[in-house]
A = this chain, B = another copy of it.
Amino acid sequence: MASASPKILSASPASTDTVDNSYLRTLVGYNARRASLSIIEVFMERMAVYGLKVVDFSVLSLVAHNPGITSRQLCATLGVLPPNLVGLIAALDRRGLIERRPHPSDGRAMGLHLTPAGEDLCGQAEQTAAQLEVDATARLTATERKTLIRLLQKVYD
């Protein structure tokens, strides 16, 4: 965005819209958060088409690749607390995307499974996610994208 009337720019540091954030930009945390938010933003937009929030997508995808997974395991994997997952699971159940079946070996737990409708929606959503990722990181080459993922995993693994 080219700014208008740059004539009166004086020596005063924050006079117009020029803010010096060069120090914050030296911090990994600042950059990771900014990049994360910019990708999540696109994620939210495109998942809204399916009526899914980001965490809904994560749940569907994990259930798809781990049929019979329990709520407790989802919580541990996604960093969500059990009480906050209850309503989310119930909503996906009500929409007919997942099923809660009695766990084969633990009477307390429920095994989660995708319904055919859930399989279908999850498949579409995963394709959308793959495309979205490329779009949201369009300034990266394929190699850079791989490097970025490798370094990010090195941080949190």
Contact = CB atoms under 8 A, between A and B. Distances in A.
B136 A26 contact: no
Given A29-B133, A40-B33, A61-B24, A17 B147 contact: no
B34 A156 contact: yes
A139 to B, nearest CB: 5
A149 B28 contact: yes
Interface string A26-53: 1111111111111110010000000000
A62 interface: yes
A116 interface: no
Given A28-B136, A29-B136, A20 B66 contact: yes
Contact of A67 (B14, B144, B145): B14
Interface residues of A, number: 64
Interface stretch (A70-78, A82-90, A93-101): A70-78
A31 B66 contact: no
Contacts of A43: 29
Contacts of A66: 13-14, 19-20
Contacts of A27: 129, 133
A17 B145 contact: no
B136 A154 contact: no
A73 B17 CA distance: 7
